C-alpha cells in the first residue's frame, strides 16, 4: 500500500481588518443601530452624542479615525475640515441625502472625500403626499377650528386632487416616488428637473411652464448654488392665484421673504413646508414665527425622512461607505 499523504493544515483566513468610524451627533436610536450593524461590516464605531465642534485648532473630541460621520443638522465649515484633516480624517459621511451643510470646496481642496447616505424614498414621498392633501383640503384651518370647538363647516368647499394639476420639480428617487403615488389620484402631473438625464415619463416642461400650469408645486431637488432660491418672487408671481407650494427638500430652495409676501397677500393659496430657511436656528429663525402665524401655512419640523426604515438605510449606507473608502 502506498503511504497516505499527510493532510494539509486547514487554511488560516486572516480576520478582516477593522475600520474606525467616529459618529458625531449620534442619537440613542442611531447609536443602537450602529452597535447592532457595525460588527457585520467590520467597523468599530466611536459614538459621540455631541455634534462636531472645534475649539481653537482642535476637533473635540479628537476622532482618531480616518472616517467621521455627521448629521444633516451639523454645519461642517472650512475650519472644521482643516481641523479634521490635521487629525488624520480623510472621509466625512453625512447621514443624509443632502450635502449642502458641508463646505464642499474646502473638502475638495483638502482631499477629504464627502459622501451622503441614500435611503429609500418612501417615507419622504408618503409625507409629501400627506402635505399635499392637507394643503388642498385646508387641513390647518379645519384642525384649528376643531381645536376652538367650532364644528361648523367653512364657507368654501375644497378641491379634489383628481381635478388638479401637480407640478413635480425634481424627478430623482424621491420625486419619482411622489409621482408614483400621485398617479393613483388621477391628477395631471407635470415634471421639471434642472439636472440632465433626469428620469420620468410624465409631461416634462420648463420650470416657468410648470409654475404657470400647476395648482400644486412640490420641490424635490438638492440645494446647490444653482438651485438656491429656485422659487423666488418672479416664480411665485406666475403661479395661478390660489396655488399651493410644498417643500420637503431644503428650505433654501425658496426665497422665504418672497413666499411670505405671496402668502400674506392671499395670491398664493397656501404652503406646506417640512423645511424652511435657517431652520437650525430654531426659535431664533426670523421666518418661523411669521410663517406659523399665517392661517394658510403648514409647518412641520423637517420630519419627512424620520422613519425607522430610513434610519436603518442611513446607518448601513454610512458603514458601507466607510469600509469602501478604507480599502
Beta partners for residue 21, in sequence order:
45, 67
Q: What is the radius of gyration, based on Cα positions, of the chain?
A: 24
C-alpha triplet 273, 276, 278: angle, nearest 5°: 170
Which listed residue (30, 235, 277, 279) is catalytic?
Answer: 279
Q: Is residue 180 annotated as part of the catalytic site, yes or no?
A: no
Which listed residue (204, 267, 302, 312) is catalytic?
Answer: 302
Q: Which own/partner contact pairs does 123-126 have at CB distance under 8 Å and 24+ positions apart?
A: 123/304, 123/305, 123/306, 123/307, 123/309, 123/310, 124/174, 124/177, 124/248, 124/304, 124/305, 124/310, 125/174, 125/177, 125/178, 125/180, 125/181, 126/181
Q: Is residue 250 annotated as part of the catalytic site, yes or no?
A: yes
Q: Is residue 279 annotated as part of the catalytic site, yes or no?
A: yes
Which listed residue (250, 267, 277, 312) is catalytic?
Answer: 250
Task: Look at the block and give the residue holding cell 455631541.
Answer: 50
What number of H helices and E strands is found in the chain? 11, 14
CA 207 to chain centre: 22
Hey, what's the torsion of the CAs at 64, 69, 72, 78, to 10 degrees? 50
Residues taking part in catalysis: 250, 279, 302
Amino acid at each position: 500500500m502506498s503511504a497516505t499523504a499527510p493532510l494539509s493544515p486547514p487554511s488560516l483566513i486572516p480576520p478582516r481588518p477593522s475600520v474606525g468610524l467616529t459618529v458625531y451627533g449620534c442619537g440613542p436610536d442611531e447609536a443602537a443601530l450602529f452597535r447592532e450593524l457595525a460588527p457585520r461590516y467590520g467597523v468599530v464605531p466611536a459614538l459621540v452624542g455631541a455634534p462636531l465642534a472645534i475649539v481653537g485648532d482642535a476637533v473635540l473630541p479628537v476622532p482618531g479615525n480616518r472616517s467621521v460621520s455627521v448629521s444633516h443638522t451639523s454645519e461642517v465649515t472650512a475650519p472644521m475640515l482643516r481641523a479634521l484633516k490635521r487629525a488624520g480624517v480623510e472621509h466625512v459621511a453625512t447621514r443624509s441625502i443632502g450635502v449642502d451643510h458641508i463646505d464642499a470646496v474646502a473638502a475638495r481642496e483638502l482631499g477629504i472625500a464627502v459622501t451622503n447616505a441614500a435611503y429609500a424614498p418612501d417615507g419622504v414621498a408618503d409625507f409629501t403626499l400627506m402635505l399635499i392633501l392637507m394643503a388642498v383640503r385646508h387641513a390647518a384651518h379645519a384642525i384649528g377650528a376643531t381645536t376652538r370647538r367650532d364644528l361648523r363647516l367653512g364657507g368654501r368647499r375644497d378641491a379634489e386632487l383628481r381635478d388638479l394639476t401637480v407640478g413635480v420639480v425634481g424627478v430623482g428617487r424621491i420625486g419619482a416616488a411622489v409621482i408614483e403615488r400621485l398617479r393613483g389620484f388621477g391628477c395631471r402631473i407635470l415634471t421639471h428637473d434642472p439636472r440632465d438625464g433626469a428620469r420620468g415619463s410624465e409631461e416634462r416642461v420648463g420650470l416657468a411652464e410648470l409654475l404657470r400650469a400647476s395648482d400644486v408645486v412640490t420641490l424635490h431637488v438638492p440645494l446647490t448654488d444653482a438651485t438656491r432660491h429656485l422659487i423666488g418672487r418672479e416664480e411665485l408671481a406666475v403661479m395661478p392665484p390660489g396655488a399651493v407650494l410644498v417643500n420637503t427638500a431644503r428650505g433654501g430652495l425658496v426665497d422665504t421673504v418672497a413666499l411670505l409676501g405671496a402668502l400674506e397677500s392671499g395670491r398664493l393659496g397656501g404652503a406646506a413646508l417640512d423645511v424652511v430657511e435657517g431652520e437650525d436656528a430654531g426659535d431664533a429663525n426670523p421666518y418661523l414665527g411669521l410663517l406659523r402665524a399665517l392661517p394658510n401655512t403648514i409647518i412641520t419640523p423637517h420630519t419627512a425622512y424620520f422613519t425607522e426604515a430610513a434610519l436603518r438605510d442611513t446607518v448601513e449606507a454610512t458603514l458601507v461607505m466607510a469600509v469602501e473608502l478604507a480599502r
